[in-house]
Amino acid sequence: MYAIKVFSHCPGFCNKKSKKSKSEIILAANEPDLDADPQRAQYVRSIPNALLFDNLLLQGYLVNQNFLSKIYKFNVREDDLWLATYPKSGTTWTEEILSLIYNGGDIEKVKDKLLPKRVKHFEVGIPVGHSRWLQSKKSQRLIATHLPTTHIPIQLQQLKCKIIYVVRNPKDTAVSYYHHHRMSKFLGNYAGTWDNFVDLFAQGKLVHGDWLSHVEGYWRLHQQNPNQVLFISYEELKTDLPKMIAVIARFVGNNLTDEIIERIANHCSFDEMKDNKMVNREKLPVKGLFDMSQSKFMRKGIIGDWRTHFSDEQSKLFDKAYNHRLQELGINLCYDSDEAVQLAIMFALNIIWNIRNIRETKLFRKFSQKRSSDIHIAAHDPELDTDPQRAQYVRSIPNAWRFDDILLQGYLVFPNFLGKIKNFQVREDDIWLATYPKSGTTWTEEILSLIANGGDIEKVKETVLPKRVKHFEVGLPVGHSRWLKSKKSQRLIATHLPTTHIPRQLRQMKCKIIYVVRNPKDAAVSYYYHHRMSSFLGNYKGSWDDFCKLFVSGQLVYGDWLSHVEGFWRLHQHNPNQVLFLSYEELKTDLPKMVALIANFLGKDLSDEVIARIATHCSFECMKDNKMVNRESILLKGVFDMKDSKFMRQGVIGGWKHMFTDAQSQLFDDTYADKLDKLGLHICYDNEDALAYMQTNRRNIEQGGN
């Protein structure tokens, strides 16, 4: 330790090495213009033996200029795994996760080995032993770095191996880095004020430089090749650690069981980590690095601690410094726990499955050559900008797809699955529910689930609806496909796809289909609020008037309402014994009768008592408070912004009258009335119309016809 300090103090040696290197490496205190900025000068001189490495400020402790001079030409191996972070962004945490993943979740293999001996910090280490380890280690190397992309090895910039980058919101990062400075002797046990530290952070003048430049560099590498660079956030790790462990494991090619993932998650919880002497820096080969009386190395590990440190002015300073650029880059960061919950799933899925850039990947190019369907990223439509209103909408939907001329959301919709839809194997005992969005889908799914279970509410009350009725075109690639293929009992499947895009065997009516139509005015209002609350639909911020125009022109996700309805209406006319066509308004007007109709269509003979039980359970009042169906459950956490609108909002007929202007109502009438009349379809727009229709057009329960 003493020898290293003297070695680093020697200006002659440092200058000598700098002259021999293409890199510029000097003692930071010797920077010619340092005193032009007194605040920075005081900070730099407080860092023992600080170095400037090509204008990047580095600590002096265990950072050797001879090693720095060789960094760019460092030989990266294809089987390396590099972890990159800005300081205090979850580095130690992720290192432990990686170490356990590579040891198959076997805690016994790591519990007696210090973390720095399992994951090597690249630019920090005792000169001789550190270099020897990097060069001689034969098995896969786990390497961590705080260096920005401008200072990493050239072969790493070229993505010769896989990289994981963890970002943390800058406010919490700054707070944690401040306390880290105060406790770290190699950072001078920072004695300055919090106000000064905030200024230095925002100006990019701390050790390891500018936070935003650091993040942007790795974000661009991720965009360049998401198969080689996994970009995740500290907040995601905090929000759903098991899920993120699965994400990381999959990225590095390790398929772990749920049991192993849970074991790793428990071991890597904050409470476990802070007491684990192999990771919490209380047991190190070199003593005296940290003053634990100032702060623990693992301090709080929470989201939003910045609120206890930042003044309003400081918070605005950070917002001004970062928010606009982050928005331009397309990076969403969370500053409190609620935001983290809201964005975790969407952000993670963009990362895991490379939706954002999948069109450029070899996998997608290979798939594109084999598929018969036209599937591409909607934002890349050649003629998109000829219609500015449509272009703005399409680009607001995160990672939206164009699937044979209909628009689909990007969330949990994958091109490989879409390409196989036409040849999907339909079973004769399947039951398919088809609807245009916001036409009573969830409601009918719950009814179907209960009918299939003989009206036994006990069998369904603890299982979330998406696990009982599968949405066909939406789902995680592996688990979703596995369920569809392997489920032995009767499958209940829901879809919003029009008849032009459903499996060929479904168009041939190999199984029974139930279609629910809702009047277009109420459907449009409900879809508008659904867009506003749904992260995967971009939390629509356009006007209601623009939304109406997009609806009638068939440019929303899932396409044209009338074409959707007409397709399934014609299937019903072709074979009413295989396709039951009913309306949302009928369900609202006489639910027990419609439950009996559906049960009869499916060949289920239910007693009046069971039908009444199902109808009561599926009333709007019960449904909106049922966490198994109202999307407030943990399974779909973060997908919907419930502050703007509830998933189950009003559930009425005629709510459109409070939204539509006379001109908008006339637009819908002009668009749909004549065409519906020619099809022989009567659509109800209010309660009175629905009641009259039900009284004059009695359903034939025995046949289930219209």
Pair (153, 192) in one structural domain: yes
Between 134 and 21, name the one with better pLDDT.
Answer: 134
Q: What pLDDT is stored for residue 300 in this prediction?
A: 63
Q: Is residue 377 part of a domain?
A: no
Q: What pLDDT is stored for residue 10 in this prediction?
A: 37
Using DSSP's 3-state secondary structure scheme, residue 672 falls into helix
Decide if 180 is catalytic: no
Q: Is residue 374 part of a domain?
A: no
Helix (H) or strand (E) holding 323, with range, is helix 312-329
Between 342 and 309, name the one with better pLDDT.
Answer: 309
Q: Which of 92-106, 356-370, 530-544, 654-668 has the lowest mean pLDDT?
A: 356-370
**126-146 average pLDDT score:** 84
Q: Which of 111-125, 185-199, 292-306 has the highest mean pLDDT?
A: 185-199
Angle at 365 between CA 360 and CA 367, to 5 degrees: 135
**What residues contact residue 586 under an 8 Å CB cut-off, 6+ apart?**
594, 690, 693, 694, 699
This prediction has a pTM of 0.54
Q: Is residue 389 part of a domain?
A: no
Pair (610, 622) in one structural domain: yes
Q: Is residue 348 part of a domain?
A: yes
Pair (197, 52) in one structural domain: no
Range of the domain at 651: 396-696
- Given a cut of 60, is residue 686 above it in pLDDT? yes
pLDDT-derived band at 294 (thresholds 50, 70, 90) equals: low
Q: What pLDDT is stored for residue 475 in this prediction?
A: 80
* C-beta atoms surrounding 297 within 10 Å: 19
Pair (127, 18) in one structural domain: no
Between 125 and 350, name the one with better pLDDT.
Answer: 125
Rounded Cα distance, 553 and 541, in Å = 19
Q: What is the pLDDT of residues 140-159, one digit of tens each?
A: 899 999 999 999 999 999 99
Between 472 and 109, name the one with better pLDDT.
Answer: 472
Q: What pLDDT is stored for residue 318 in this prediction?
A: 95
- Given a cut of 90, is residue 433 above it in pLDDT? yes
Q: What is the pLDDT of residues 231-277, one digit of tens each?
A: 999 988 888 888 889 999 999 999 888 889 989 988 888 777 777 77
Rounded Cα distance, 235 and 305, in Å = 12
Query: Torsions phi, psi of 23, nearest 5?
Result: -80, 155
Q: Are 420 and 564 in contact (CB under 8 A)?
A: no
Pair (119, 42) in one structural domain: no
pLDDT-derived band at 354 (thresholds 50, 70, 90) equals: very low
Q: Are 597 and 701 in contact (CB under 8 A)?
A: yes
**55-61 average pLDDT score:** 93
Pair (292, 228) in one structural domain: yes
Pair (333, 407) in one structural domain: no
Q: Which of 26-35, 63-72, 468-477, 595-604 has the lowest mean pLDDT?
A: 468-477
- Given a cut of 60, is residue 704 above it in pLDDT? no
- Report the share of the chain in percent with pLDDT over 70: 83
- What total of structural domains would you count in the chain? 3
Kindly name the residue from 9, 121, 130, 146 that is annotated as catalytic.
Answer: 146
- Given a cut of 90, is residue 281 above it in pLDDT? no
Q: What pLDDT is stored for residue 367 in this prediction?
A: 38
pLDDT-derived band at 369 (thresholds 50, 70, 90) equals: very low
Pair (347, 486) in one structural domain: no
- Given a cut of 70, is residue 339 above it in pLDDT? no
Which CATH number do you get for residue 489? 3.40.50.300
Q: Is residue 31 part of a domain?
A: yes
Pair (16, 118) in one structural domain: no
For residue 458, with 0-12 CB atoms within 10 Å meaning exposed, 13-18 middle and 19 or more buried, which class applies? exposed
Domain edge (last residue) among 42, 69, 96: 69
Pair (160, 20) in one structural domain: no
Pair (277, 144) in one structural domain: yes
* C-beta atoms surrounding 523 within 10 Å: 22
Pair (504, 636) in one structural domain: yes
For residue 189, with 0-12 CB atoms within 10 Å meaning exposed, 13-18 middle and 19 or more buried, which class applies? middle
Q: What share of the chain is helix, strand, coil (3-state, %, to 5)?
A: 50, 10, 40
pLDDT-derived band at 283 (thresholds 50, 70, 90) equals: low
pLDDT-derived band at 535 (thresholds 50, 70, 90) equals: confident
**4-25 average pLDDT score:** 44
**480-484 average pLDDT score:** 78
Classify 475 in phi/psi space as left (phi over 0), alpha (psi -120 to 50) or beta: left
Q: Which of 3-17, 369-383, 447-461 has the highest mean pLDDT?
A: 447-461
- Given a cut of 70, is residue 76 above it in pLDDT? yes
Hey, what amino acid is at 191? A
